[in-house]
Amino acid sequence: MMAEGVVISRHKRDALVKNIKAEEISCVFKNRDISPIVGDRVSYIEKHNTFIITDIFPRISEFSRINKKGMKEYIAVNITQLVIVISIIPRPDWFLLDKYLSSSQINQFKTVIVFNKIDLGEPHQKILNQYRSIGYKVINTSVLNDDTAGLLTELSNETSVLIGQSGVGKSSLINKLGNIKKQVIGDLSRKTNTGKHTTTTSKLLSINNNASIIDSPGVRSYAPYFNNTNEVLKGFIEFGDFEESCRFINCSHISEPDCAIKKAVADKKINKRRYENFKKLFNQIEAIKK
Ligand code: GDP
Ligand code: ZN
């Protein structure tokens, strides 16, 4: 028997796979080359009541970060949208937001900024409008006031990752939107002694409106993975309108003369805070890669 499904959670030696019948199957891996990530589409077989993942289908996207050892580490794959949650308390970390946005831009994900806890007021509107003006969708939500319909619309037909500082309300939003029925098949977690303590790993949840959410653990110190400074240059969406006018085709917009980006900042066509965050990120990546 050969079947297909999507990996909805991953542990060291097994993964939970959801098949087309919405059954959740605990599977082991055929060999060391088979190392599926949450979101992977896989095929699996059954052998003596053990389910084994044999193949991973090509990925349309990969979402990664740098772990404590400085290695690239996948959070989820095949995602189509990044949902960046910010809130009133804790206060938004705008540099972190810009890093998330750059990462999303480079990966060509759809991007939504969710401003949660608006029941506590509506500060930061000027900054949020700046993000709107460069093309980002910003949605207000309140779990407390049951105001999440706008977010559900954005999640529809997408596989989204919800990220953001700890305490902004990601779990609350997911619980509010989630309508999760479970049917677990296979009992491998007992045999392999894994699959139990899953709170630190990502999970894929299916909710209403054909929406899938990757529920990722607290990512307070999350650092998106940038391969090089060129990626940072591509990460700031509003630079695209100006960079063709820089004198040098490979201008890094840091110290070159006749830089159209710096001019646009001086002319207030590019937001200064965004530009400063760009420089900070650029310099950070340059320092790491040297
Ligand atoms: P996470 O760390 O991002 O998953 O955040 P949580 O979902 O754990 O929420 C952190 C705290 O914020 C909890 O005490 C929630 O009850 C609270 N919270 C979440 N959403 C809202 C909201 O819309 N309004 C208010 N006032 N509090 C909220
Ligand atoms: Zn330039």
Are 163 and 85 in contact by the 8 Å Cβ rule? The answer is yes
Distance CA 204, CA 39 (A): 7
Q: pTM (2 decimals)?
A: 0.87
Could you tell me where in the chain the CATH 3.40.50.300 domains are found? Answer: 62-215
Could you tell me where in the chain the CATH 1.10.40.50 domains are found? Answer: 229-289
| pLDDT at 217 (0 to 100) | 63
| Best of 83, 139, 143, 174 for a ligand 1 pocket test (most atoms within 8 Å of beta carbon) | 143
Q: Say yes or no: CB of residue 120 within 6 Å of ligand 1.
A: yes
Those residues with Cβ within 8 angstroms of residue 289's Cβ, 6 or more apart along the chain or in another chain:
228, 229
* pLDDT, averaged in runs of 10, over the chain (290 residues): 93 94 95 95 96 98 80 86 95 95 93 98 97 98 96 96 87 80 43 40 84 68 76 96 96 97 98 98 90
> How many A from CA of 49 to the centre of ligand 1?
42
Ligand 1 atom 24: residue of nearest CA: 117
Could you tell me where in the chain the CATH 2.40.50.140 domains are found? Answer: 3-56
Those residues with Cβ within 8 angstroms of residue 215's Cβ, 6 or more apart along the chain or in another chain:
162, 170, 171, 174, 202, 203, 204, 205
DSSP 20: T
Topology classification of domain 62-215: Rossmann fold (3.40.50)
Q: Which atom of ligand 1 is nearest to the CA of 164?
A: 3
| pLDDT at 222 (0 to 100) | 55
> What class has domain 229-289?
mainly alpha
Topology classification of domain 3-56: OB fold (Dihydrolipoamide Acetyltransferase, E2P) (2.40.50)
| pLDDT at 216 (0 to 100) | 64
Backbone angles phi, psi at 277, to 5 degrees: -65, -35
| pLDDT at 1 (0 to 100) | 80
Ligand 1 atom 12: residue of nearest CA: 169
